Structure 1
Amino acid sequence: MKSKLLPIILLLLVVLNGVLIFMLINKPHIQEKERRGRDFLIEELNFTKDQEKDFLVIDMSHRETMRSLDEQVKNNKNKLFNSFETLEQEVELIAKEIGSLESEKELEVFSFFNKVRDLCSQEQKDKLENIVRKAIHGNNKMPPPRDGRMPPQNRGNRPPPR
């Protein structure tokens, strides 16, 4: 009985390893997330085929720029936290660089939406501004944190911890 079960288990493990390797290489979960964001704007703004083509070019350029900036921020944060013995001046310079890169990211996002806005008709511009406004301000329906604590704005309604 054990000798018949061993090949089945080995085959199952090989198949699972193949699936995991595929997911690591292709990262379909990340690609799907990017596609959803892209498709959302295309559908919500009801782009024509020409607008969609132009939008995809803008979107690709934006994503490349954001990835580059994210990578630079990550590298600087690694440099900052992997060297606790560095001089305070160097730490401040690295922190300022991180702040500068974060500022560039915000400007890139603004530039992206400005370019998308330029593609739009007046009706689409109104929809886009509404979408951006909702994204910035949210709908104030935040789910509770996973650790069970109340969000900061609701803490005043609860008694202090004992």
Structure 2
Amino acid sequence: MNKSKLLIISVVTLAALNIALILVLTLGHSPRPPHNMGGPKQIVIEKLHFDASQIEAYEELISVHRETIRSKEEEMRVAKESLYHSLSSNNQDKRDELIAKINIIQKNFEEIHYNHFLDIKKLCKPDQIKDYNELTNELARIFSPQKMPPKR
């Protein structure tokens, strides 16, 4: 085989490998789980078989929940900002106080989420409780942030 044929075969092979790699990187990793049915809200609605009035009440719960979470996120942002500003002062008491405050805010986040799901349970009719209990086994997976592939 002469050098020009070898060079052509090499170029074509490398081009095909590059195209395959691009396809794998763009199509191979979905940031959403394969069960994606329109996001967590839609998953809850479908798994619990909510009717129109339940959906309306659920949307109101979501609205209140989001507003409460936004308020806590702002509180957390301010507390963390204060903590990092305290780096220049070497004040151990202030640092400990701010870390304790951040821990309390994080605890509040978890209580807010937990109570939100108790409120969802209250929307369920007796025949939907079994579906609700099954849903609770999947909550961490459904509502946790999706892991993104590592950046290179």
Question: 2:64 is matched with which residue: 49, 61, 73?
Answer: 61
How do 1:110-125 residues align onto structure 2 when only pairs under 5 Å count?
110-125=114-129
Of residues 56, 77, 82, the one that matches 2:80 is 77
Q: 1:100 — aligned with what?
A: 104
**How far apart are 1:98 and its partner, in Å?**
0.5
Match for residue 18 of structure 1?
none
Structure 1 unpaired stretches of 5+: 1-34, 149-162
Counterparts of 2:109 and 2:130 in 1: how far apart (Å)? Answer: 24
User: Equivalent of 2:131, from 117, 127, 132?
Assistant: 127
Shift of 1:114: 0.3
AA partner of residue 131 (structure 2): K
Distance 1:89 1:109, change over 3 A: same
The answer to whether the 8 Å contact 2:86/2:94 transfers is no
CA contact (8 A) 2:76 2:105 kept: yes
Compute the displacement of 1:57 (Å).
Answer: 0.7
Q: TM-score, normalised by structure 1?
A: 0.60
Instruction: Quote the sequence identity (%).
Output: 20
Instruction: Report the Cα distance in structure 1 between the residues aligned to 2:102 and 2:48, rounded to whole angstroms.
Output: 34
AA at the equivalent of 2:88: E
After TM superposition, give the deviation of residue 109 of structure 1 in Å. Answer: 0.7
Q: How far is the alpha carbon of 1:128 from its aligned partner?
A: 2.0
Following superposition, which runs of at least 4 residues in structure 1 exceed 3 angstroms of deviation?
142-145
| Residues matched between the structures, number | 111
Q: Distance in 1 between matches of 2:39 and 2:141?
A: 21
1:24-48 CA deviation, whole Å, 9 max, x = no partner? xxxxxxxxxxx72222211221111
d(CA) in 1 for partners of 2:63, 2:75? 19
Give the AA of the match of 2:41: R
Compute the TM-score of the two structures, normalised by the length of structure 2: 0.64
Deviation track 1:1-35 (CA, whole Å, cap 9, x = no partner) reads xxxxxxxxxxxxxxxxxxxxxxxxxxxxxxxxxx7
1:147, CA displacement in angstroms? 6.9
Partner in structure 2 of residue 47 of structure 1: 50
Tell me: CA distance 1:143–1:70, structure 2 relative to 1, closer, same or farther (3 Å): closer
- What CA deviation, in whole Å up to 9, does each residue of 1:86-142 have, x standing for no partner? 31111111111100011111111111000100110233222222222223378xxx9
